[in-house]
Every structure is written in C-alpha cells, then in structure tokens.
Structure 1
Amino acid sequence: MNRKPLKGIHHVSALTAKAKENYHFYTKILGMRLVKKTVNQDDTSVYHLFYADERGNPGTDLTFFEIPYAGRTHPGTNSISATSLRVRDDQTLEFWKTRFKKLQIDHDEISYESGRASLAFRDHEGQRLILVSDQENEGVAGGIPWDKSPIPQEKGITGLGPVHLTVSRPERTINVLTNLMGFREKPGYKRELDQKQVRVFETGEGGSGAEIHIIQEEEMSRERPGRGSVHHVAFRVEDVEELNKWVEALNESHLSNSGFVERYYFRSLYFREPNGILFELATDGPGFEGDEDFEHLGENLALPPYFEERRKEIEAQLKPLDTKE
C-alpha cells in the first residue's frame, strides 16, 4: 500500500514536575503560546500542556505531562537527548543569548557545528533545548509566533527543529527510520564537545523541521527519565487515511504498536523503535480550535468530549493553574 512520506516533526512531549513553573518558563520567558490546557488522556489526574505558535500548527508543539514529585533525570543513552526550537535568523540568537544572560537561564555559546547557528540552553528543570536559526534553512515551513507574546513577534519561536536521539546501537534506529519510515540520510557533522559524529536524517520537504540527529553513545547507561526528560517524539501524517496505512505497515513489519488512538485534537499511533525510544505518528488535524476559539486558546481546562461527563472528578484532582494572565 503506497504511503505518503512523513511530513516532518509533529510534536515533542516532555515531563515536568510543576505545571505552574513550567507555564511561566515557556510562556513568560520563551514567549510560546499555551494553545491547550488539558489532561494526560492516559492518566487524567495530571495536566497535559501544549505550547506552540499562534494556533498550535503541526510542527510547532512542545508539550508537557505534569508528573508531580518526579525525580531528576539521569541523562543516558537510548533517549531523546535534545529538542530544538526554530527562530528566524542568526541575529535572533544574539537576542536570545542576551535575554538568557539577563534572566540567568543556563545556556552555552552560539555554535555553528551543525551547519546552522544554534544556541543550547536548559530550562529550570534541566530540559535540554537548542535554539536553531532558520537563516540558511530550506524545507518545511515554520509557524507564526503569537503577536500577544512577551517576545517581539520577529524574535519569536517559530516551531520545532531537529530532534536529537542518543542511542547505543544506531544501526537499529536508522534501519527503522530509513527502511520503514522513509527518512533519507544527509551530510552529518561532528560535535564540538567530544568530536562524536552526528548522523542526520530528514523526511518530507526536509529542513530543520523534518530532521532527526543521531549520536552513538555506547559507554553511558540507559537514561533514567524524570523531570526535564522527553517522553516521545511525534511525526506528521497527512490524515486518518494515511495513519491507517501506517498501522498496516507496522503490523506487516511485526513492530508492536498501539494501533489507531483517538486523541481528539489529532489521531495517533505509537510504537517503540528497537532502542526503546517511543515514536508517535500523528495526523495534522483536526487541531486545537474545535473546543476553544482562537482568541481564547489555553485559557480554560479543555477536555475531549469523551471525558466531559467526568469533568468535576477530573478538575477535583488537579491543582488550579491560572493561564489567563
């Protein structure tokens, strides 16, 4: 059955221990828009927060599950070891470097090792993030930063960039990316930190919004996730028809998978690649405006229709989180 190529990165979902502090960092410091305040559909006792461009376009969402009292992350292999966020150009990185210094945000120097200007930094929980410049980028278009953000719109984050995977046996991950998922390899680079080779793979129209960067690390132990770690990465599928083709393809490849999963804001399919990293395939739609209008996205607790009858019970389990500020 012919399948269309995956269109790029759809979203990245990470872990936080405190939703209130997480909301402050990603909206007030990074200037992203909270486009949906909802719950983890597999555990409705905790928040699921979606930060993105002005309306949560596919490829712009960085999401967080709140896991109260989550321990710290012990970085290691077989993990999603960094998430990139795109900005317009190289000069914008200078703006962010100055801002990080002023606000005492842990950050590195601007680097050009990947062929793009980039600025690595960490949030208050140690989440590993990288700002990447789109100045020399071609491929999947970015989103539009929210014009009511505390960050000037021209300096805002436009979406997700390359996702970094650190794995012990890269050939196993690469086999799934290329032979099953249709990614193609492009020129890689060496990391300045340790001169390790980074292999780069892209899908769809390519560019920073459609790349996976793979680093081999054999001597580290497996990552122990906690606050500041990444739970999974999702890739863009056009629609439900295409998603069903991927369900069939995974079954034919004998890869254990979730099958079709209804998430209301998009439809999904989950599986673990051979090094144990959780991948999701997610449809571009329907999007986040089915239960809230554009002007008021993220202001109230949104629940998919199949959870509405449990709203009082669900709200009673959650700590209040004011997102109307």
Structure 2
Amino acid sequence: MADTIPGIHHITSISSDPQRNLDFYTDVLGLRLIKVTVNFDVPGTYHFYYGDEVGTPGTILTIFPWPHLSRRPPGTGQVVVTAFAIPSGSTGYWVDRLTSHGVTVERPAARLDEEVIAFADHDGLQYELITRDDGPAQRVWAGGPVPAEHAIRGFHGATIWVTTLEPTARLLTDLMEFRLVSEENDRLRFEVGEGPSRAVIDVASPPSAPRGEEGAGTVHHIAWRTPNDATQSAWRERLIEAGFHVTPVRDRQYFRSIYFREPGGVLFEIATDGPGFTVDEPVEELGTSLKLPPWYESRRAEIEQALPPLDRLTRSGG
C-alpha cells in the first residue's frame, strides 16, 4: 500500500501577462519568486514558481503565463478556488492590503468555523485567504513586502467542481485515503494529511456550471505530495491497478511527477518532495535568473530570444 499523502505539493494555474503576474504575486501577495524556468513540455513560455523562502512543498504556487490564450471562466473538471492559510488576526490587514492595491475583496465571512476572505487576481483566478494557525510554511519569506506576522503560510486547500460527486469521492476516500469530514448539499469536504501539512479539498457539483476549458484564469492542475521516488512508484502502481491511466514519471528538475485525471476530469499530479529548488541556485539567489533543465541548455539563446523580458530577472542564468 502506498504511503499516505501528506498534503498538497503545488497548484499550477494559467495566466496572461507574465510581468503583471510576477508583480501581483510578489508585490501584492508577498510570495517569494523562487524559480523562473520554462514549461518543460512547451518551452516557449515561462514557468514561475512562488512560495515561502525555499519553496517548501505545500506553499508552492506555479504559473504558466501564456499571453496568447484568451480568458476562460472556471467550470467542472477544474480546480476553481485556491485557498491560502493566513494567521488568525490577519484578516483586517489583508482586506486593507488588497483593497489598497485595487483588488475587489469579499469581506470576511464565516464558513465551517473558518474566517474567509475571497478575491480574484487580474486574470480572474479565484483565491481565498483562510485563518489557520498551523499553516504549512516552514520558512516564511521575510524579505517580501508583507510583515512575517501576517504572511501567507502556504495552502489551506482547494475547491474543485465536478458534474457527479460520487466517483470523485470514491477515489479520494477508497484509494487516496482522504477523510470525509463534512457534507452539505452539493458540496463534500475532505481532508488529507496531519498537522501543518494537512490540506482541505472541497468537491462541489454546481447544477448549472459549464464544462471547464483551459485558458487564462483557470487552474491547470493540483499536485499532491509524496516523500520520495519509492512512494511515488507505489502510488503509480496502485492507480494503474485501479484502472487509471497514469503517465510515466516525468523529471521536473526540482521534483518528479506522475499525472492522471480523477473521474470528474480534474488533472491530478503526485510529486516528490525532493530534490527541491536549490539544486541549481543557492537560497539567496532563488528566482533571480532564468534556469533551464540540462536538456534545454543548448537552446538557451533561442529560448531567451522568444521569451519577453522581465524586470528583476537576469537573462543569463548560470
């Protein structure tokens, strides 16, 4: 049996303008830009990684900025809301901060004993800030614009939309060993992991929701953690035995990944915790230059020429 999943590894979304994306997530949300690379499958676009000081699994938000893609509303078969954890007592700070940067904020509301702030970024990606004092960040990014006592602590969880609840619920509980913790009309809440890395996933089936289409303002996939290659291999075998089509292991330089679609159509990934983001640059230099995997280094000049320039980025990585 595969080891239990500790929580979320990362969530990957699609945006439009890369500079605007970088400015929002670093200057407004106060996340650290921990890696600038390219989409390993489509190297003509950037791949940004944001997180805590070192990119601890459970804090990593990643973005594919594709300026040519049109904006799409969220729909079934997608993650529709990404929820970050913030410390108790920080809701007032975040309402003021977001409002001062021109972000429309839904005022704090209570939900299942949580205090929730809802907002969207410039592409329409939906976010929540949820008070939680055991958030997953191990090393809060103290070099950013948000005071450490209010800083985002990593992921609280996510909401996915599906057309039918039962098949997704069966995968989560019977195979992936998530815990069903609440049930409310067309929404089920599950938890996975324990302590600071614990993650919440809400599965909803809105009756009039359209089928989701990939585009700017949508989430591409959600990745779950696994400690190492051996546990990832065990998960792959378990999923294949259950009838899921699972990709071969893919080397993402900073972790290794397998992918499959859950019954509702959401793309799931299971990613290893290591080797981490310091394999090609030291902690103090994370996110300051374009890093390419070894198999793309011979194409560096061509790739750099195709990518738009960015403020705060050195174009000649080591």
Q: 1: distance between equivalents of 2:112 and 2:62? A: 25
Aligned 8 A contact 1:134 1:208 in 2: no
Query: Please, which of 192, 210, 215 is the counterpart of residue 204 of structure 2?
Result: 215
Q: Which amino acid aligns with 2:3?
A: K
Quote the RMSD (CA, aligned, Å): 1.6
Q: Deviations over 1:8-29 (max 9, x none)?
A: 0110000011110000000001
Q: Deviations over 1:78-119 (max 9, x none)?
A: 221100111111x21110001122222011010111321110
Structure 1, 72-81 or 2-11: larger mean CA deviation = 72-81
Tell me the SS of whatever aligns to 2:177.
coil
Q: 1: distance between equivalents of 2:234 and 2:279? A: 25
Structure 2 residues not aligned, in runs of 5+: none
Aligned 8 A contact 2:181 2:189 in 1: yes
Aligned to 2:143: 148
Q: Deviations over 1:143-184 (max 9, x none)?
A: 332111011111111101111011110111111111111111
Query: Please, which of 235, 243, 260 is the counterpart of residue 224 of structure 2?
Result: 235
Q: Which amino acid aligns with 1:246?
A: W
Aligned 8 A contact 1:51 1:61 in 2: yes
Tell me the SS of whatever aligns to 1:233.
strand
Query: Please, which of 92, 95, 113 is the counterpart of residue 94 of structure 1?
Result: 92
Tell me the SS of whatever aligns to 1:44.
coil
- Percent identity, please: 38
Q: 2: distance between equivalents of 1:61 and 1:264? A: 15
Q: 1: distance between equivalents of 2:242 and 2:201? A: 21
Aligned: 1:283 with 2:297: no
Aligned 8 A contact 2:2 2:238 in 1: no
Q: 1: distance between equivalents of 2:79 and 2:105? A: 19
Q: Which amino acid aligns with 1:18?
A: D
Aligned: 1:56 with 2:51: no
Equivalent residues in 2 for 1:69-218, closer than 5 Å:
69-89=68-88, 91-135=89-133, 141-188=136-183, 196-205=185-194, 209-218=198-207
Aligned to 2:311: 322
TM-score when normalising by structure 1? 0.92
Q: 2: distance between equivalents of 1:208 and 1:311? A: 37
Q: Which amino acid aligns with 1:187?
A: S
Structure 1 ranges of 4+ moved more than 6 A: none
Tell me the SS of whatever aligns to 2:45.
strand
Distance 1:207 1:149, change over 3 A: closer
Q: Give, in angstroms, the shift of residue 46 of structure 1.
A: 0.2
Aligned: 1:267 with 2:256: yes
Q: 1: distance between equivalents of 2:278 and 2:136? A: 21
TM-score when normalising by structure 2? 0.94
Structure 1 residues not aligned, in runs of 5+: 191-195
Tell me the SS of whatever aligns to 1:288.
coil
Aligned length in residues: 314
Aligned: 1:293 with 2:282: yes
